[in-house]
Chains A and B, each alone.
With several copies, the nearest count.
Chain A
Amino acid sequence: MTDTDTVPAKPARRERKPRQSDKVRKTSFTQALNNALDLAMAKHDEMFVIGEDIAEMGGDFGVTKGLFNKYGGERVRDTPLSEAAIIGTCAGAAMVGMRPVAEIMFADFLGECYDQIVNNVAKMHYMFDGQFTAPLVIRTACGGGFGGGPHHSQSVEGWFLNVPGIVIVAPSNPVDAKGLLLASIDSDDPVLFLEHKALYRSRAEVPPDYYTTPLGTAAVAREGSDVTVVASMRMVPMALAAAEKASEQGVSVEVVDLRTIRPYDADTVLSSAAKTGRVVVANEAPKIGGLGSELSARISEECFSELSGPVVRVDGLDTPIPFSVPLEEVVLPDEAAVSAAIAIAAQY
């Protein structure tokens, strides 16, 4: 489990304290999300939470814990295993001005409601000429690294990257998780909110009040001048760790945390790329047709004359996620892979 405490705009170097007291003092990613939902429920009468086992049980990962007791079954609603109907229910409710937040237990199950998301939720504002909005949030647990096997470990942002109308949000730390979830709920656009399972237990000092982290803005999680690493979700703590190691070798690495994957913050990405001229793009999903391709293409095209060398991509291999842990380790990118990519880029 990774432990991060980056804050939105500027990175605060972590003071190393004994792990035990860390846990007492700091808020986990899960708790930060739970707190955001609680604050949003209090603010928005029109909001409800819906999904499988999210009421009394508090969700498979505990993100909705306590909401049922506080807000009741009308607003915190368990469903059967009917993913299409869950998203359909949110879409319909959103059409009449409600603000639903769905939990799809594992991102892998988004295939069940892909039509609802892509053909209904993402298009309704456009195809009905702005007469409807779809202010719903689809929260879901994604990513690998825990022996979950091929149907509980996928990084799914690539499934939705080519779909205009959907917003894809992907926090890397508890502070952003809260701020981005609140911004997603406030937003009148439909948001696919990705929660990487390996980050759930990461901890940071999270402000207790209602704050939002603007959608569509990346964060420079660490400043640097030699190499830029663009990353999101779990790759951010890996990139930060790799950057730390690189600095010991005299390579100054800037880490851009994308935070919103669609529409993404091209300004921040491109200006960092232009500044360093050496870029690594790091993603957990397979390389072909993934977010890394989009970023590499954009950077290569728009920073053509500033680049000292080709963009270097670090990704998952082009395979499903195998169950066996040693095999999964082969498939998923790790900190060493990011370090290796930084080393290549630094040589240009």
Chain B
Amino acid sequence: MDTPTLIGLYRDMWLIRAFEQGLEREFEKGNVPGMLHTGLGQEATQAALAHHLKASDTFFPDHRCHGINALAQHRYGGDGERIMAELFGKATGVCSGKGGSLHSADPNVGNFGDNAVEGSYMATVLGVALAAKIRSQPNVACAIIGDGTVGRGEFHESLNMAAIWDLPVLYACVNNGYAISMPVGEGHASADIVDMVKGYGIPTRQLDGNHVIEAAEEVGEAVEHIRSGKGPYFLEFKTWRWQGIFAGEFRPEAEVKYWREDHDPIMLATEALAERGVSQSELYTVEQEVKELIEEWISFAMESPSPDPAKATADVYVGWEVATR
């Protein structure tokens, strides 16, 4: 990977981090309604995926994917602020505030939206991929799933069907070690999700999801494989989320230290860039630019109007109006 590319990924990771930290701050102030799950700590995985997905590809983000949503929106739509506005439930959001954190979508940038029934889109992704195959389009359909989500039966139905039909599906499993409070090794027959994939004859790789260089290179290979018509591919990213559970941190202290201090994806990238001779100040500038951008997005979201009440009853059906009160 060349240095400009790495600097780009560094910027992307900072965009994700600043987005989530800004969001967290506003959530605590009460400006963001509903629930909040952040992708803090998982920036390298998301940046690596976003790096290789085109606007003509499709991704199904999960509940921690504000970052990848924002990156795609910023890159292909030029309006990343509309992801922020969606989370604030505003009229300017990508779904006019109807979807929120768990259902932000914009097909123009490849974002097909989360399904907050975790993992249901392991089934939906098949259809997007099948359509691409029928139409001979070299598109990738990517499902981003957590380790916990792997517990769902659709995991099997999806892998099996993608395998028998050679569908262009990229399974991106973000193994951050826990599903809420359930450690991956207790919730699954194997703590290594790839073990449960082997029987399907789908190429699988397990990788360090916090090393953005490795992650981006592996995603690149997977995407190349899929685009060239060779069928599905399964990537397991080992990573870790900063956000604990409700009652606070419950994970072992050494684990917390390892991931937050010794294995922070941005720090790892900073080190790699330093080795290549990129100056601290150049990186600092990148960081500051991105942070300012995010503050602009937050202001945009804050200042945006609430959705028109008529939106509440719009688009239930295409062919019918529904009654108002």
B110 to nearest A CB, angstroms?
11
Taking a contact as CB atoms closer than 8 A, the residue among A57, A89, A98 that contacts B246 in the complex is A57
A91 to B149, CA, bound (A): 20
A331 to B100, CA, bound (A): 16
Contact B306 A326 (CB under 8 A): yes
Scan residues 83-109 of chain A and give those whose CB is less than 8 A from a CB of chain B.
83-85, 87-98, 100, 108-109
A289 to B158, CA, bound (A): 33
A133 to B124, CA, bound (A): 14
- What is the number of residues of chain A that contact chain B, defined by CB distance less than 8 Å? 80
**Other A-B pairs, 7, CB within 8 Å; known A57-B247, A149-B101, A164-B316:** A60-B246, A81-B179, A85-B153, A88-B124, A216-B320, A320-B316, A323-B100
Scan residues 114-164 of chain B and give those whose CB is less than 8 A from a CB of chain A.
115-132, 134, 141, 148-154, 157-158, 160-161, 164
A187 to B119, CA, bound (A): 28
Cβ-closest 3 pairs across A and B = A88-B123, A92-B127, A323-B100
Contact A126 B98 (CB under 8 A): yes
**Which residues from chain B sit less than 8 Å from chain A, CB to CB?**
33-35, 58, 89-90, 93-103, 105-107, 112-113, 115-132, 134, 141, 148-154, 157-158, 160-161, 164, 179-182, 186-188, 245-247, 250, 306-307, 309, 311-320, 322-325
Contact B102 A149 (CB under 8 A): yes
- Known contacts A57-B181, A165-B317, A216-B319; decide if A89 and B107 are in contact (CB<8 Å): no
Contact B103 A127 (CB under 8 A): yes
Contact A263 B95 (CB under 8 A): no
> Closest residue to B103 on the A side, CB-wise?
A127
Interface of B is mostly: loop
Q: CB-CB contacts of A237-258 with B at 8 A, as 1s and 0s?
A: 0000000000000000000000
A176 to B83, CA, bound (A): 43
Contact A119 B316 (CB under 8 A): no
Contact B152 A317 (CB under 8 A): no
Sample of 23 A–B contacts (CB below 8 Å):
A57-B245, A81-B118, A82-B151, A84-B120, A85-B153, A85-B158, A90-B127, A112-B152, A119-B115, A120-B117, A120-B121, A128-B113, A131-B105, A131-B107, A150-B99, A164-B316, A189-B318, A189-B320, A287-B323, A320-B316, A323-B98, A323-B99, A337-B325
Taking a contact as CB atoms closer than 8 A, the residue among B96, B100, B105, B180 that contacts A52 in the complex is B180
Contact A48 B129 (CB under 8 A): no
Find chain B residues with CB under 8 A from A58 CB.
247
Find chain B residues with CB under 8 A from A133 CB.
318
Find chain A residues with CB under 8 A from B95 CB.
127-129, 131, 323
Taking a contact as CB atoms closer than 8 A, the residue among B121, B312, B319, B320 that contacts A331 in the complex is B312
Find chain A residues with CB under 8 A from B102 CB.
149, 151-152, 323
The answer to whether the Cβ of A284 comes within 8 Å of any Cβ in the partner chain is no
Find chain A residues with CB under 8 A from B306 CB.
324, 326
A64 to nearest B CB, angstroms?
12
Question: Which of A58, A90, A91, A119 has the most chain B CB atoms inside 10 A of its CB?
Answer: A91
Find chain B residues with CB under 8 A from A120 CB.
115, 117, 120-121, 124
Taking a contact as CB atoms closer than 8 A, the residue among B34, B132, B309, B316 that contacts A147 in the complex is B34
Find chain B residues with CB under 8 A from A53 CB.
180-182, 245
Contact B311 A92 (CB under 8 A): no
- Known contacts A85-B126, A320-B316; decide if A164 and B33 are in contact (CB<8 Å): no
> Closest residue to A109 on the B side, CB-wise?
B117
Find chain B residues with CB under 8 A from A115 CB.
117, 120
B236 to nearest A CB, angstroms?
16
- Known contacts A57-B246, A98-B131; decide if A189 and B89 are in contact (CB<8 Å): no
Contact B97 A82 (CB under 8 A): no
Find chain A residues with CB under 8 A from B101 CB.
149, 323
A128 to B104, CA, bound (A): 7
